[in-house]
Structure 1
Amino acid sequence: MGVEGTQAARRTQYAALPYRVRQDGAVQIRLITSRETRRWVIPKGWPMKGISPAKAAAVEAYEEAGLVGNIAHEPVGTYTYEKRLSVRSVTCDVLVFPLKVKRKLQSWPERSQRVGFWFTIESAAAAVNEEDLKQLILEFGEQMATKWKDKLEADQQKVKAKKAAAPQAKKAATPQKQSSPAPASSDASEGTKADAGAKKAKASPQKASRPKSGPKGSGQGAPKKSSPKGKNNS
């Protein structure tokens, strides 16, 4: 087959990269076995008429692995592999869409034809055969680790900000006591007392003074007694 024929034979497929994040931030990848060679692969399939690439990948995850979750709108990367058909093989370029798994169903169309298992990032990369897919899984793990680290740092900043704001909020909510007036100084106190005394003296009437008797020997004194009549002075 010539170069032109090889290029014309290339096909496109859409795949889901099922993953879940544990409480400690570790990411796990769900791989399934292929039906013929029983090697570890990710759910993938051909384009579907009237369905977007991302939704087509989600459909494959349901049909081949029984997984339901949130599919990314943009692919995380691509890889290439040789797909065996009935009489020949064809080169496929696979667009990979991350699928955050929410639940695994009890039954699905290809349950009896495949086996699934959760892998760590490193073990999943080691389990698949395609070199491009190995690298894609490792890079995806690095991206998820960075997101987890950024999330932890953001949460820590929120906690610090909340602790810093707590004393301020408590201080603002506590009513402040009114300060009592300062005692007057001794000089001001004495002045107040003097003013009060002056007002009291002005308000009360003064008593009238009795007339005083004149000095002895003055004509204004008591009248002299007259001598008895009939007696001559000898």
Structure 2
Amino acid sequence: MPITILNFTHAYEPMTFLHDASCRWIDCTRLHGTACYCDTDGEAQLRRLLAPYPPEGIHLIDSGDYHYVTKLWTDKIDRPFSLVLFDHHPDMQPPLFDGLLSCGCWVRTMLERNPLLRKVCIVGASERLRQETQGFDRRLVYFSEQTLRLREAWHLFSRFYLNGPVYISVDKDVLTPRQATTDWDQGSLSLGQLESLLRIILRHEEVIGIDICGELPLCQQPSAVSPERRAANTRTDHELLDWLEKHLPQE
């Protein structure tokens, strides 16, 4: 699958393995009105930049502050589908202002506005945030971080089918801090556990595309994050992309 990189914060620039002819870079560094909250002008600019690219493939969308870009990718899907979200947060808060897209409300907005979205499966979010999902029980499945610690939860997940094409979104804040440093509080999944869950989905479902966010902006807290932690981020990105390229169906 092709890799498309949205460069908002320069986070990917030091990752030499991404400087490859097969990777398509989209320069988002000059956009305004897109950090955490995306206003109407920012959304219009992003839609213009994404217009030439399909929802299929692997999309790297930078910091978790831009996770709402998943909505823009999935708006391109023209058939019924489900979303599988690996995230330590369900991203289903009510919007701060009507019509304002944000990294905290984009899943709720998709459920309310996208008639082709059949179901959302949230994996690895904190149990205490389940209250954000109230009112969407029929269209939402919640495998919390705490539930995944139970042996039987993995058995249930392996028997859970969405029966249709899926789009997968991964926020690296679902991972343990040993394997990823993000600018949000983090979960406890290991990279191996994440890959095991992804393998189950790939075994049973048709995957349209996948995106990954949760990078630490290059310009943020330069002295607070050690080179070792940044190196761990890069290593996790490299390992996850290698795994995906080996396991995702090839065009």
TM-score in terms of structure 2 length: 0.22
Structure with higher RCO (Cα < 8 A, 6+ apart): 2
CA radius of gyration, larger in = 1
